[in-house]
Structure 1
């Protein structure tokens, strides 16, 4: 990944690196120029030479500044561009219809798509700085060699020794940085999950337990961060100290040479200036392993997502001609040999005595479960769900889960999210069928009523109705609704039941739609053509709502509450 990052920004990287090298060479030339000015203009008292020297020094600073500003802008532009490309790439991989096989939670994936994408792009800043710093050190060493061979050799030999010692500690820094990023991502993931589930936690009275678990995870993240910081700090302190001692040694040795008359005053000033300047590139080289370690660790985490296998196969079968749904001897989670069939045009109700059975059925039909994770067959229109072309499968079978999210925007944009080209009459019909017309009619902005992220600006019942309208507008041949009315009152629930039946199975409906209602709502089950009762993961009974209510005591206890 790091090689790919460097490759796809090689133009800006090469230009930016060249300009940073020019900047370092100009920085190196500053103490040389000052030494020359002292030796040839000030000590000689030549006014003309002094004026020309000062003008030349000003031009040198102009080149120095311009090279840095332009080069830095190119490097920063490349870094920001790469971070953006990585964020888009990771988001696309996470949101791909085939899914992504990873153990990372949503909060951890968010960290990968944000902070890890930014840190991986650091390599575009690190490499030019390494090359520029090495250029500055080599240029300083060559200048010192020309002044005095032992001085130049001290820098040329001392620098590789310092760099070699730094590389010995680099693997430890990488491990500590990786552990710190993983621990931070876990803490972020738990925080995201806790915020998303705050209301259920309050309902269960589990705030204290949730806070305790977060404190533990956050504490481990803090410990990992402190370990990484201590390692990096100790490494940086030692390396900078060694670099400074080398510079001080070179300056002291030059002072002794000047006292012996082996070098001039101007050369002494140049050596002292270079010995002070060389601390900067050596200090940069000392920090490099830490930057590289962070970039490498982030690249590893990005690769975990970008190289992850898709959850479900692509499939190749076209859109099925009929709208029937069939499960044969399916075992998945709590389901045990479940077999059921929804005929084309049928409004089928499913009552699960165990909520885990309802959740497993909805998850299985969503198309996000790999074929190897369940046994049995699931077919839509006679074609295996896993064998359908992905786009065809999404058009043929739509599962609206119990927990749905809305997008930031308006009520209208959320309802038409799946069909932005829908006719106004179609939108009006689904709003009435889902009882969401009240949400629109109760506000002067109507369909333009603003909706915040995840629909937080709406009540629970309003969110459910808008999400149901969105699902109905998609006009999927097979529509599966899992508890779509748990947040509405009984009167609204009855209106929604009648609306779903009328919209998808009314006499004036030209297309044969199949609808599956996974629910315990008596209003919804009463409009179903047939009701299946699930118990212990399999079908335990079937009939109309009226028949089951009259003959099955357990059914009456669950439904007629």
Structure 2
């Protein structure tokens, strides 16, 4: 029972679905918790009977029966609470787990997503918001149980004295409605708090990942100040939400206390006038005191529902987000067509770019403006569905290809390489299979042999998250080796050698040619490296978003002054 990608999803739908898919477990939880509340309400009734029929009469038999009744009540009360709480917690935990899986599945969808959220924000949605939204199940269970307690108490009070019962039946709903009046404000402030927390989490994630670069340019103090401001904004949002919570708690406690005092006072007056017995007075006072607990519970339920609604709204924005990349159903391409072809593409700074990568060809692209390179990467990776013009893979528009075929056909290796916790081997394989010989081949082609040979355990050397124990150049070369091992028909590289020295760069360029210059493969390299451009079959030069020159590196370096200045400086 999952939402389809791009389906309209609201906070209400997320919460209603949670109830539907756990309805059996939720029903059991409601039954046992309601039984617990009913037996707890029966305790003061039993004590009242005990006083009227055993204490006031001095008879032994009623006393024994009352003791047996109390033992039975507390046995049922304890069992019902444990069983009901277990079902409630289980349903909430299972829903939380399912929500986290759905968010992860949506985020990892190869078609991408249009949430606009950063990694830290998505992490907050998958953890904190999933947890709070799942609490709707727990809130419903204890809310219905609290309502059962109020119903049982009201019926008993009606049986004892109608005006007392009517007073409770009128007073409690008014009290609950008054508590609910604060719910919209609480929902709004809770939503603001969760958005602020997610934003601060995302900022912290970005700063930690870029800490080395920030230190390199001396910007760590500015970054710390930016985080301090974001953290202070989060603190203010949290305090506002907490103050609203506190106000609701205070109103709930004060109102339930006044209700208790009113009921107890009226019952005492009736007892003095002989309208009710002493045992009934004890029952009424006990029930009035007990009623404060379910009323307080309903106030807590109101808070939880407000938080769950706010979190469900954020979950809905992720689960209902449209795919970034539109795909079709074609499962094969034209073997005679260019592997990759752009025709009159316009996107951001690009203004009618046309280029092609044919089989067996390595094409270099030099962009005088880095914005052109970013826009071109976005287009060929499918992250720019709003572009104009055509991007074809094997003669078919990218939008017509089945997503699995598209993923197998085009691989974009970004400048910033992602490595994961594990070993060098697991990072290179990335779920695929290859023998030791093949792994060594791609490592040599990527000039990464020194990374492997530097460790006694070689490819089995452990890596920390993001490969933080490696240098930038080592991470770059491992990323290139992983891309070469995948052997996609179209490989797009973005500055694969910016963090290595000139000698290593030359070795890397030669290895790239050896690995990719085969008839079935095509490679597009966005770079300004003369070592790499010199190995390309053709170089395309972009300036101001248009193609201004095409030729070999040697031709362009000797005939184009702007090219020579950009590459050979």
Equivalent-residue separation in structure 1 for 2:368 and 2:220 (angstroms): 29
1:478 correspondence with 2:490: yes
Detail structure 1 runs of 4+ shifted over 6 Å in the superposition.
none
Query: Which residue of 37, 56, 60 corresponds with 1:43?
Result: 56
Task: Please list, as runs of the form range in 1=range in 2, the aligned pairs for 1:109-258 lying within 5 A after superposition.
Answer: 109-258=122-271
Aligned to 1:538: 546
RMSD: 1.8
Aligned to 1:517: 525
Q: Residue 382 of structure 1: CA displacement?
A: 1.5
1:27 correspondence with 2:37: no
Task: Please list, as runs of the form range in 1=range in 2, the aligned pairs for 1:311-460 lying within 5 A after superposition.
Answer: 311-320=324-333, 321-322=335-336, 324-370=339-385, 373-417=386-430, 420-460=432-472
What is the DSSP-based 3-state SS (H/G/I as helix, E as strand, rest coil) of the residue aligned with 1:531?
Answer: strand
Q: Deviations over 1:350-371 (max 9, x none)?
A: 122222222221221112221x
What is the DSSP-based 3-state SS (H/G/I as helix, E as strand, rest coil) of the residue aligned with 2:204?
Answer: helix
What is the DSSP-based 3-state SS (H/G/I as helix, E as strand, rest coil) of the residue aligned with 1:329?
Answer: strand
Q: Residue 467 of structure 1: CA displacement?
A: 1.0
Task: Please list, as runs of the form range in 1=range in 2, the aligned pairs for 1:492-511 lying within 5 A after superposition.
Answer: 492-505=504-517, 509=518, 511=519
CA contact (8 A) 2:327 2:398 kept: no
What is the DSSP-based 3-state SS (H/G/I as helix, E as strand, rest coil) of the residue aligned with 1:515?
Answer: strand
Query: Which residue of 303, 308, 322 corresponds with 2:321?
Result: 308
CA contact (8 A) 1:406 1:454 kept: yes
Aligned to 1:87: 100
CA contact (8 A) 1:399 1:480 kept: yes
Query: Which residue of 470, 474, 488 corresponds with 2:500?
Result: 488
1:285 correspondence with 2:293: no
Equivalent-residue separation in structure 1 for 2:344 and 2:282 (angstroms): 89
Query: Which residue of 63, 67, 72 corresponds with 2:85?
Result: 72
User: How many residues matched?
Assistant: 554
Q: Residue 516 of structure 1: CA displacement?
A: 1.4
Equivalent-residue separation in structure 1 for 2:332 and 2:513 (angstroms): 24
1:462 correspondence with 2:474: yes
1:553 correspondence with 2:550: no
Q: Residue 222 of structure 1: CA displacement?
A: 2.2
Equivalent-residue separation in structure 2 for 1:149 and 1:433 (angstroms): 90
Q: Residue 473 of structure 1: CA displacement?
A: 0.8
Moved more, 38-47 or 309-318: 38-47
Q: Residue 477 of structure 1: CA displacement?
A: 0.9
Equivalent-residue separation in structure 2 for 1:471 and 1:193 (angstroms): 25
CA contact (8 A) 2:179 2:251 kept: no
TM-score by length of 2: 0.93
CA contact (8 A) 1:240 1:286 kept: no
Moved more, 71-80 or 173-182: 173-182
TM-score by length of 1: 0.95
CA contact (8 A) 1:345 1:513 kept: yes
What is the DSSP-based 3-state SS (H/G/I as helix, E as strand, rest coil) of the residue aligned with 2:31?
Answer: helix
Equivalent-residue separation in structure 1 for 2:44 and 2:481 (angstroms): 74
Equivalent-residue separation in structure 1 for 2:451 and 2:390 (angstroms): 40
Equivalent-residue separation in structure 2 for 1:404 and 1:93 (angstroms): 22
What is the DSSP-based 3-state SS (H/G/I as helix, E as strand, rest coil) of the residue aligned with 2:321?
Answer: coil
What is the DSSP-based 3-state SS (H/G/I as helix, E as strand, rest coil) of the residue aligned with 1:338?
Answer: strand
Q: Deviations over 1:286-317 (max 9, x none)?
A: 22222111111111111111111111212122
1:7 correspondence with 2:27: no
Equivalent-residue separation in structure 1 for 2:67 and 2:463 (angstroms): 65
Q: 1:249 to 1:416 in 2, by over 3 A?
A: same
**Runs of 5+ consecutive residues of structure 1 not aligned to the other structure:** none
What is the DSSP-based 3-state SS (H/G/I as helix, E as strand, rest coil) of the residue aligned with 1:386?
Answer: helix
Equivalent-residue separation in structure 2 for 1:187 and 1:104 (angstroms): 12
Q: Deviations over 1:262-289 (max 9, x none)?
A: 2222222212211111110011112222
Equivalent-residue separation in structure 1 for 2:295 and 2:514 (angstroms): 77
Q: Deviations over 1:439-466 (max 9, x none)?
A: 2222122221112222223221221111
Equivalent-residue separation in structure 1 for 2:229 and 2:36 (angstroms): 48
CA contact (8 A) 1:350 1:517 kept: yes
CA contact (8 A) 1:346 1:513 kept: yes
What is the DSSP-based 3-state SS (H/G/I as helix, E as strand, rest coil) of the residue aligned with 1:274?
Answer: helix
Equivalent-residue separation in structure 1 for 2:35 and 2:206 (angstroms): 50
Q: Deviations over 1:374-397 (max 9, x none)?
A: 122211221112222211111111
Aligned to 2:3: none
CA contact (8 A) 1:416 1:473 kept: yes
Q: Residue 156 of structure 1: CA displacement?
A: 1.0
Equivalent-residue separation in structure 2 for 1:14 and 1:252 (angstroms): 38
Q: Residue 422 of structure 1: CA displacement?
A: 2.4
What is the DSSP-based 3-state SS (H/G/I as helix, E as strand, rest coil) of the residue aligned with 2:455?
Answer: coil
Q: Residue 185 of structure 1: CA displacement?
A: 2.0
1:274 correspondence with 2:294: no
What is the DSSP-based 3-state SS (H/G/I as helix, E as strand, rest coil) of the residue aligned with 1:311?
Answer: coil
Q: Residue 38 of structure 1: CA displacement?
A: 2.3
